[in-house]
Structure 1
Amino acid sequence: MRLRGLLAACLAAQTVLAAQASASCSRAIAAPVSSNGASVIIDGEHVKGIYPDLLRTVASKTGCNIVFSVVPRARQVAMFKAGKADLLVPASRTPERDQLGTFVPMINHRAMLISVATGRAPLTSAQDLLARKELRVAVVRGFDYGEHYAALVNELQKQGRLFVEVDVIAVARLLNAGSADVTIMGPTLMAGAIRRDPRVHGLQEKLKMEPIPELPWRHSGAYLSNALKPDDQAILREALDKAGKSNQIMEGYLRYFRADVLTDSVRPR
């Protein structure tokens, strides 16, 4: 009887393990992506970079089929809002997005004021930037660094000195040409774009990074859409959470960037 019970327990354990091993998503997972520094690199038809590498690891471990498509950043965000994107990466956490999906933190980061160093007086706050009306500011459509960022961008728009561009490299070209004076984003985004575009090579060494209190440290990571079935969301959430705790994203940043680029703008979760 004891042997029979032991065999039954072993079979039950094997059944559970087999079920866990075969756990996968019920359908293909839509992951539209846009060029985003080293976080997402678009090389022709190939999608690579820190977050695609992570998602391919997640797909391998879960058996889920994660399907990438390349779109502009603004369209990527719009698709997530409309429930047509199952994943939004990378993404800062915002109250609006919390209504649309579940956030999984991966790293801490902050946006900064980035400009070509010209010897001008330092900028120490949003109000300081708003008061310096001679400075033209460029941002990327679809980027969101919280309520203070949105308010600052709205006021700059009202003042008529805001450029809104489709991607980071377009902003880098404006800075390089002297057509814009300041941008607001994570320094790694700018560094990644500069490294990939020969038209702005050499710009990185000229840049000045300035933190302001209205743009504090924030979590960045992945959003899982409420459009996902609960079981699918649970599978992906567990895999992404494990990756976040393992600092896989931070390790990815360290592979792509010098430590001095990361010091003031990216740190582990």
Structure 2
Amino acid sequence: MMGHAELKALAAAALLSLGALAPAGAECSRDIAVPVALIGVSITNNNGTVGGIYPEALRAASAKAGCNLVFSVVPRARLEVLFEIGKADILVPASRTAARDQLGIFVPMIGHRATLISVQGNRAPITSAQELLDKHELRVAVVRGYDYGEQYQALIKELAKQGRLFQEVDTVAIARLMQSGAIDVTIMGPTTFSGAVMREPRVAGLMDKLRVEPIPELPWSYSGAYVSRRSLKPEDQAAVLEVIEKVAKSSVVMEGFQRYHRADILAESVRPR
């Protein structure tokens, strides 16, 4: 018959064994809501299944950590509202902005920048925001809900005042307008635009005609994920942050971009964080 000391030792050994089998870090106490907007190959929707570079990377890491991420597809502008009112636990992918910093905790995943994108032609290069504003003949389109920081917002506000700005629901709509000649320039990350073009057969011909022009008002920054400050309990917030930080520290997101995008497009818009 075992004595008290032996029973305590056996119980301790059993606990250690269970601990070794349990997932590292805290598990989430509930499903984590991740509404997303379709973005080229970064966020895709195949017959109701959300996939793409970011969901695939996050799913793999969250499953190991005991967190269940529930993805749903919404328009980009709606996504921003959901995050603002605390109905989205994660905002991904997202550029870092001061406004979003008030709503969530940012985890950078890649270096990223927006550029001017157009169809190759004979016009002179555009090297600054002011030059774009001065070329009144150029019609510009952006995706409603995209935000690349204060200078981007100031630029599109001025273009709107000039009556030259078109705001569309997604990148595919902009690509169609560009192919038809209805607009001349868009402002976004080149991988975002090329990812949409490669998934839409009707505009596939644009890929070999793209002109990418960086301007100093749209510098390199970071793209990644925001974890909500409003919707998550502290322990769930910590668990989700741990998942996202593991993904960010790995090379899986950058490898995803390298798998899908041409080297010249990557060089202008994405680099390791």
Question: Which TM class, normalised by the smaller chain length?
Answer: over 0.9
2:239 counterpart of 1:245? no
Aligned: 1:159 with 2:177:
no
Matching residue's letter, 1:223: Y
Secondary structure of 2:257's aligned partner? helix
Query: How many correspondences in the alignment?
Result: 269
Distance 2:31 2:18 in 1: 26
Shift of the alpha carbon at 1:22?
A: 8.3
Q: Equivalences for 1:58-73 in 2 at 5 Å?
A: 58-73=61-76
Give 3-state SS (helix, strand or coil) of 2:227's partner. Answer: strand
1:64 to 1:123, Cα distance in 2 relative to 1, 3 A: same
Partner of 1:184: 187
Verify: 1:42 aligned to 2:45, yes or no.
yes
Does 2:240 match 1:236? yes
Structure 2 SS opposite 1:203? helix
Percentage of identical aligned residues:
60
The DSSP-based 3-state class of the residue aligned with 2:244 is helix
Q: Report deviation, 1:6.
A: 7.4
Give the residue type in structure 2 aligned to 1:145.
Y
Partners of 1:255 and 1:188 in 2: CA distance? 12
Shift of 1:264: 1.4
In the alignment, which residue of structure 1 is the partner of 2:146?
A: 143
For 1:244, what is the secondary structure of its paired residue?
helix
Query: Aligned in 2, Cα 1:41/1:20: closer, same or farther, shift over 3 Å?
Result: closer
1:200 corresponds in structure 2 to: 203
Give the corresponding residue for 1:173. Answer: 176
TM-score by length of 2: 0.93
Residue aligning to 2:118: 115
- In the alignment, structure 2 segments of 5+ residues that lack a partner are none
User: Which 4+ residue blocks in structure 1 deviate beyond 3 angstroms?
Assistant: 2-23
Structure 1 residue 4 displacement after superposition: 9.0
Corresponding residue of 2:79:
76
Cα distance, 1:53 vs structure 2 = 0.4
Q: State the alpha-carbon separation in 2 of the partners of residues 53 and 213 from structure 1.
A: 33
Question: Which residue of 196, 209, 212 corresponds with 2:212?
Answer: 209
TM-score, normalization: structure 1? 0.94
Secondary structure, aligned partner of 1:264:
helix
Shift in CA distance, 177/17, structure 1 to aligned 2, threshold 3 Å: same
Letter in 2 for 1:265: S
Q: CA deviation at 1:44?
A: 3.2
3-state DSSP of counterpart to 2:268: coil
Q: Render the CA deviation track for 1:131-162: whole Å, top value 9, x for unaligned.
A: 11110000000000000000000000000000
Amino acid at match of 1:244: A
SS of 2:187 mapped into structure 1 = strand
The answer as to whether partners of 2:139 and 2:185 remain within 8 angstroms in 1 is: yes
TM-aligned CA deviation for residue 9 of structure 1: 6.1
Structure 1: stretches of 5+ with no match in the other structure = none
- Say whether residues 1:262 and 2:266 are aligned partners: yes
> Given that residues 35 and 91 in structure 2 are in contact (C-alpha distance below 8 angstroms), is that contact kept between their aligned partners in structure 1?
yes
1-structure distance, mates of 2:123, 2:102: 42
